[in-house]
Amino acid sequence: MLSRLLSPTTEVSAHCDLPCGVYDPAQAKIEAESVKATITKYNDSTDEAFRSRALSIKEERSDLVKHHLWVLWTDYFKPPHFEKYPQLHGLFNEATKLAGGGGGTKSSTDVAVADQLLAKIDEISGIFWETKKAA
């Protein structure tokens, strides 16, 4: 009897936890562009204090890229999106690795890695906007 009293009487579902329009891959892209610009400035400088600060900023911004991508991956995109776009899990996995350590922008000072990250974010963004049109 207790379980009947505590069980929900109405089942609800929602597209997202917050009002629509909150999610946008532009947040990840802005941070990734900051990472690329910081890498460029790091590579162009000979001032060790500046370079040290640039590395710190680049690492922080790389973490923010991953954060914004994870929010999209885990909160915005739902099973029907992954069914329609089977490459989506792979894109997110590749993009978050490109923003991370172990060869990603967090540990690299190679502008080409930042360009690869931006390209993955652009692919994710294209799919994101297709899903927004369909909604």
Could you read off the pLDDT of 49-106 as tens digits, one per residue?
999 999 999 999 999 999 999 999 999 999 999 999 999 999 999 999 999 989 999 9
State which residues form the domain around 44. 23-134
Could you read off the pLDDT of 6-23 as tens digits, one per residue?
665 555 444 445 555 579
C-alpha atoms less than 13 angstroms from C-alpha of 134 in its C-beta half-sphere: 10
Res. 130: pLDDT tops 90: yes
pLDDT of residue 1: 60
10 located within any domain: no
Per the CB < 8 A criterion, the answer to whether 87 and 124 are in contact is no
Q: How many domains does the structure of the chain reveal?
A: 1
Between 13-27, 41-55, 105-119, the lowest mean confidence (pLDDT) is in 13-27
122 located within any domain: yes
2 located within any domain: no
Q: Assign residue 58 the CATH number of its domain.
A: 1.20.120.400
Per the listing, tokens 């652009």 go with 122
109 located within any domain: yes
What is the C-alpha to C-alpha distance for residues 8 and 5, in angstroms, rounded to an integer? 8
User: What global pTM score does this model have?
Assistant: 0.84
Token pair of 109 as six digits: 């000072």
16 located within any domain: no
Query: What residues have CB less than 8 Å from 35, skipping those under 6 apart?
Result: 58, 61, 62, 65, 99, 105, 114, 117
50 located within any domain: yes
3 located within any domain: no
4 located within any domain: no
